[in-house]
Structures are given as C-alpha cells and as structure tokens.
Chain A
Amino acid sequence: MSRSASAVSPSPTQRANPAAELVSGARLVVEALEREGVRHVFGYPGGAIMPVYDALPGSGLQHILVRHEQAAALAADAYGRVTGRPGVCLATSGPGATNLVTGIANAFLDSVPMVAITGQVASPLMGTDAFQEVDIFGITLPIVKHSYLIRSVEEIPEIFAEAFMLARSGRPGPVLIDLPKDMGQKRIAVSGDHPTVSAPVWPAPNGEAIERANALIAAARSPVLYFGGGVSIARAERALRDFAARTGIPSVATLKGLGGLPTDTPGFLGMLGMHGTRAANMAVDESDLLICVGARFDDRATGKLDTFAAKAKVIHLDGDPAEIGKLRRPEVAIPGDIARALDLLTAVSADIAAWQAKCAANAERWAFAYDAPGNGIYAPAMLKQLSEAAGDKLIMTCDVGQHQMWVAQHCRFTRPQAHLTSAGLGTMGYGIPAGIGALFAEPDATVVTVSGDGSIMMNIHELATIRRYRIPLKIVLLDNGTLGMVRQWQELFFDENFSEVDLSDNPDFAEVARAFGIEAFTIDHRSEVPGAIDRLLRTEGPIFCHVRIDPRENVWPLVPPNSANTQMMEKSR
C-alpha cells in the first residue's frame, strides 16, 4: 500500500482564531464521530469517560448501553463486519478498558474495522497507580492496528480522522484511542474547519505477475480456488463470483470465506480444513494449482502445513503483502487490490472437464447425511433447515464450539456478511453481542444467533440489552449439557478422560430468557423442529429457542491435530 498517499492536513484547531468558540475535548470527540458518519456507539459509562457521556445527549449518535464492556466491543465488531465501516465502542478506564480487550483482539484477528475509545485517568495522575488507572495503550499494543493516547485537546479532530481512516483502509483492524479525563474536560477555541484524511490506495496488480498467473491457470489440469475472509474485506465478492463462473474452477472456502460464493454455486465444495468437507480437502490435496484469494494458510485450514496441496503450484492474491509467503511461498504473488487482480485473470484452463466431474462426484458421494437415527433433534439438520427457510436476508451469528462448526458446515449463505463468526480468536460469548451489532447495522435483516450452552453463559446478561432496545434477535441455543467441543476432543484424543466439561446443572434457559422479558420456548423432539423454525421466523420481536440435543453428538469430519487434511476422521455409519 502506498504510504505517500496517506496524509493528514494540519489540524485547524491549532490555528489561532479569535472568533472561535470554546469547545470541550469531549464535544470534539462527539463531533468527530458525527463527521465520520457514526450513528451507533456501543458502550458503558464510568468515571474517566464521563465527559464524553456528558456530551452525548443531543448529538446525532445513538448510544447502546450494554451490560458488560466486552459486549460493546463484540457488538461493534459485528457492526463493522456488516457495514464495512468501523464499529465504535466506548468504555471507561481500568476495568472498563480491560473488559474491551477480548473484543478488540477478536476484531484484530479477523481484520474487522473498529474504533475503541477508552477513558483514562487525568493526565497528571497517569503513572501514579491512580484509581482505575491501567495502561490500556500498552496492554492493547499487540492487538490493534494502531493506537493513540491523547496528550493535547487540539489533536482530537486530527487523531479521530486518522483513526477512522486507518481502521477501515487497507487490511482493516481495530484502532484504540485513549482519552485522559482532563482532555475531555478542557475547553479550547476551535475554528469551523475540519481535518481531512486521504486513505492509502492499493497499487495496481503487477502486469508481469498477472501474465504468469494466467499462464499457470491455462496450463492447469486440476486447479482449485481457495478463498478466505480477504474477499469480503476487499468487497471483492462480485469479482470472485465472476472468476469462478468464467473459469469453472472448483472452489473451497475458509471459515471466514463462507458466503464469498453462495453455498449452491456449481463447483463449490464447501469449507476446507479441520472440519471441512472431504470433497474440499481431497480436491486441495489433488490439485496442481491452488489459487489462494484473500486467505492466509491458517493452521485450521491447512492441517499439517507441509502436506497441504503438496503437489500444487500457488498463486496468492491478498490485500496484505505481509501475508504472501508468510507460510507458503507462492509461485506467483499478487499483492494489492483483489477485485482488480481477479478481473485480470482471464485465462481459462483448457482441459479440466474431467477434474470438474471428479470434484462434483466426490461432493455428491461424500455429502453430509441428515438421516440421524432416533427421535432426538439432530442439530445439523435443524440448522440447515433454518438457514434455508430464513432466505437471503439471513445474518447468522454464532458462538464458538461444536455449534459454530455445524453452522459453517450446514448452513446456506449467499454473502460473507451473512455469517458472523469469531474465526481467528474463537471467542465464546461472541454470538449474542454480534447479533445485537448486526441488527443495528442492518435492521431489515433476519438475524439469528446460534449458541451453545457453554458459550451463551459468557454474555447472557446481554438479554437485558435485547429487551431494553426491543432488538428482534432470534436466538437458537443448542444445549447438550456439556462443553461439547472440548468433550469431543477428550473423547477422541485424551482417552475419554472427561475433565471439567459437564454442564448438566445448567439453568432452565427458557426460564432465564423469560426472566429477562424475552419470549422463549424449549424443544427436544425432532417433530417439533418445523414448528420451532416457523415460530422463530414469524415472531417480530426477540425470541429464544432452547433446543435440547444429544451430548454424544460430535462434529464430523475432523482432521486430528498435526495431521494432513486427507487423514480426516469420519462418523461411523
């Protein structure tokens, strides 16, 4: 990315202006957010951030009061994923700030645009171990794209403008702004001018690299298109779909890539990797050319790295040059604008009909089965039916664990923004706050949160937020009375030594939801599923569906740790 294209004009607040009015730092913060087009701020007040809260009433910002700061950051994360604009979260110093940390890390690992604003103790108290003083700037250094500690009020407009530009441009990420209390209170004279920031621009794809990539594509006999979250970051879905249709190359997606191609796209083989489909993993293994688009050879996708696509040459397109060659050295590197590069890859593989047929046959042969025995609810089947019934307005958010993988494996997605999942960090507790953020970002969407009985307890207090704002979130809780994914690994890899995974003393979740004022019901029989899906989708307000499932059900296939993706363990039929 061109650094020279990034520039901030001198702050107008630094110019003397005798006619200017006196404005507090907190007011400058609010005005800066308004200038950035921010409409929603997720937060929780406290001592050091009170000047900003004092400036909020009467502004154009709607503040959403969550019940724990972590939920503010996770809701802002989801808001950023859906809109492509930075989600904003706000918290006080000390524990307020540290409670944001998981959400900031979540956004960092998944490259989500976010601006996190934290109050700080007053400047003279900093470094004295004052009440609720913590070095949040230092704590978050490894998990932010950039961060600022405001040392003078005059810097506020410039810093906010730059922070929003950084959060959303290039490879997006969270930016933290730490605001000492006195900086929020101090009043300065300002003019009516505003700083302007120009965003960096992607370099044009290298012509020689494009030529070599086209030659590799033309010569390939068993190519595979392997795409990830970088597609939606670059808003390159149209280009990806055109490329897939033009070339007919079989395709696989990472967890974050799902929705880049609609699930029913011809040649799309599903998710690859640890819980990927056999068809996807076998195609990658047999490929002679891997066209990697916005993916990063993550260990969950590749399995044992030196066995991954071992026979393939690699073309790697990514918006972030630092990802290219990090784990797998490509034959052709194409950093920069993914969409422009895909549009220039116009070659067509001459002789892949047999390969396409083989991949299609494998997909059919190894398709998921939904005819589980018994009368209990088979979660994969229910999730599949729910996603199909919800239609193209669906946004599904999930927590982390078995249900997260079932969502990825079995649900229908037509766009990446329809699947909000904590992929990199794997944050239990993401689902409900993400559902809240998604509904503020896209009020017309049908937003469904799928959670597990372990994850939901991490942020269950956010049912109060849902109730307060009448957020029409549809929550499906898959309750197997255990920490299912850990239990599965203990069963398979720790000699069935089930250590600290029993949650059979869970509360009655439907009663809990009702106590928060939310309509709720419980099902535990297969025959109840169609009615439950219908009720979920028909209900206009928030609704909570508690689904009891068999704790012995596992997620299949599964690639064991440190194994090749071809060494998948399968459910015995």
Chain B
Amino acid sequence: MTPSAYNQSARLFIEFATAEGAVVRMIGLVERRGFLVRRVAMAEQPCGRRATLTLMVEGRDLGRSADTLALQLGRLHGVGRVETETALIQDQAA
C-alpha cells in the first residue's frame, strides 16, 4: 500500500494567549481544514494569560497535511508555538 492510502493523524501542542474566543477559533480552524478532533486537553499557565491546548486530530481524507494545519494555526493572532507529532492511519476507503 502506498503512503497516500493513509490518513494523517497528529497530536498538536499549541501555546496561545488566552483571549475571548481563542479556543473556539483554533478548534474551528482545525475542523474547517478537514480534520476530525478526537481529543482535547487544555492547561492554563499560572499567569492566566497563556495556555496550552493539546489536540488529537485525524484527517478526514487523504491529502490533509498536519504540517500545513500547524502553519495555519500558527498564523492565528495570539498563537505562539505549534508542535506536531504525526502518525499515519490506514484509510478505510483505500
């Protein structure tokens, strides 16, 4: 099976400034860009002004790149660092 027969799954670590709508904005972007959100965890830093969001995501179809998704998240105002750990999940339709 070729690599293109796999959907991309990823764990995203996102550091961001806490602000109105920040979490909804990020999760909405992830879903609009063609990823399912499988798991969500958030931890606020003691200062209360920054937090970390950890998302487990899975591409809805072939060709969805978690690296591109990370760049798209990274251009949101207030998002600091985005790190990805990727894995491949066999596409059921392939």
B is a partner of A: yes
B28 contacts across to A, CB distance below 8 A: 141-142
B68 interface contact, C-beta 8 A = yes
B77 interface contact, C-beta 8 A = yes
- How distant is the Cα of A149 from the Cα of B22 in the complex, in angstroms? 12
Residues B75 and A322 in contact, CB atoms below 8 Å apart: yes
B48 contacts across to A, CB distance below 8 A: none
- Minimum CB–CB distance for A163 against chain B, Å: 10
A487 interface contact, C-beta 8 A = no
Give B33-56 as 1s and 0s: 1 = Cβ < 8 Å from A's Cβ atoms.
000000000000000000000000
Residues A166 and B21 in contact, CB atoms below 8 Å apart: no
Residues A325 and B67 in contact, CB atoms below 8 Å apart: yes
Give chain A interface residues in 296-330, CB to chain B under 8 Å: 320-322, 325-326
Give B53-75 as 1s and 0s: 1 = Cβ < 8 Å from A's Cβ atoms.
00000000000010110011011
Residues B75 and A141 in contact, CB atoms below 8 Å apart: no
A170 contacts across to B, CB distance below 8 A: 75
B21 contacts across to A, CB distance below 8 A: 137-138, 141, 147, 149
Residues A149 and B20 in contact, CB atoms below 8 Å apart: yes
- How distant is the Cα of A330 from the Cα of B28 in the complex, in angstroms? 28
Would A171 and B75 be within 8 Å (CB), given that A3-B80, A325-B65, A326-B68 are in contact?
A: yes
- How distant is the Cα of A321 from the Cα of B67 in the complex, in angstroms? 11
- Minimum CB–CB distance for B6 against chain A, Å: 16
- How distant is the Cα of A326 from the Cα of B69 in the complex, in angstroms? 9
A171 contacts across to B, CB distance below 8 A: 75
- How distant is the Cα of A229 from the Cα of B68 in the complex, in angstroms? 20
B80 contacts across to A, CB distance below 8 A: 3
B74 contacts across to A, CB distance below 8 A: 321-322
A146 interface contact, C-beta 8 A = yes
A469 contacts across to B, CB distance below 8 A: none
B71 contacts across to A, CB distance below 8 A: 321-322
> What is the predominant secondary structure among interface residues of chain B facing chain A?
helix
Residues A322 and B68 in contact, CB atoms below 8 Å apart: yes
- Minimum CB–CB distance for A565 against chain B, Å: 20
A322 contacts across to B, CB distance below 8 A: 68, 71-72, 74-75
Residues A137 and B20 in contact, CB atoms below 8 Å apart: yes
- Which residue on chain A has the smallest CB distance to residue B63? A327
- Which residue on chain B has the smallest CB distance to residue A151? B20
A1 contacts across to B, CB distance below 8 A: 75
B24 interface contact, C-beta 8 A = yes
- Which residue on chain A has the smallest CB distance to residue B80? A3
- Minimum CB–CB distance for A236 against chain B, Å: 19
A320 contacts across to B, CB distance below 8 A: 75
Residues A141 and B68 in contact, CB atoms below 8 Å apart: no
- Which residue on chain A has the smallest CB distance to residue B25? A141
Residues B77 and A145 in contact, CB atoms below 8 Å apart: yes
- Minimum CB–CB distance for A183 against chain B, Å: 13
- How distant is the Cα of A141 from the Cα of B65 in the complex, in angstroms? 22
A141 contacts across to B, CB distance below 8 A: 21, 24-25, 28
A147 contacts across to B, CB distance below 8 A: 21
- Minimum CB–CB distance for A369 against chain B, Å: 40
- How distant is the Cα of A149 from the Cα of B21 in the complex, in angstroms? 9
- How distant is the Cα of A3 from the Cα of B79 in the complex, in angstroms? 9
B77 contacts across to A, CB distance below 8 A: 145-146, 166
Residues A325 and B32 in contact, CB atoms below 8 Å apart: no
A148 interface contact, C-beta 8 A = yes
Give chain A interface residues in 141-159, CB to chain B under 8 Å: 141-142, 145-149, 151
Give A192-207 as 1s and 0s: 1 = Cβ < 8 Å from B's Cβ atoms.
0000000000000000
- How distant is the Cα of A147 from the Cα of B67 in the complex, in angstroms? 25
Give B7-31 as 1s and 0s: 1 = Cβ < 8 Å from A's Cβ atoms.
0000000000000110011001100
B20 contacts across to A, CB distance below 8 A: 137, 148-149, 151
- Which residue on chain A has the smallest CB distance to residue B77? A146
- How distant is the Cα of A146 from the Cα of B75 in the complex, in angstroms? 10
- Minimum CB–CB distance for A33 against chain B, Å: 20
Nearest 8 A-B pairs (CB), nearest first?
Answer: A322-B71, A146-B77, A322-B72, A326-B68, A149-B20, A321-B71, A141-B25, A322-B75
28 A-B residue pairs with Cβ-Cβ distance under 8 Å, sorted by A, are A1-B75, A137-B20, A138-B21, A138-B24, A141-B21, A141-B24, A141-B28, A142-B28, A142-B29, A142-B32, A145-B77, A146-B77, A147-B21, A149-B21, A151-B20, A166-B77, A170-B75, A171-B75, A320-B75, A321-B71, A321-B75, A322-B71, A322-B72, A322-B74, A322-B75, A325-B67, A325-B68, A326-B65
B contacts, CB < 8 Å to A: 20-21, 24-25, 28-29, 32, 65, 67-68, 71-72, 74-78, 80
Q: A137-B21, A170-B75, A325-B65 are in contact. List 17 more A-B contacts (CB 8 A).
A: A142-B28, A142-B32, A146-B77, A146-B78, A148-B20, A149-B21, A151-B20, A171-B75, A320-B75, A321-B74, A321-B75, A322-B71, A322-B72, A322-B74, A322-B75, A325-B68, A326-B65
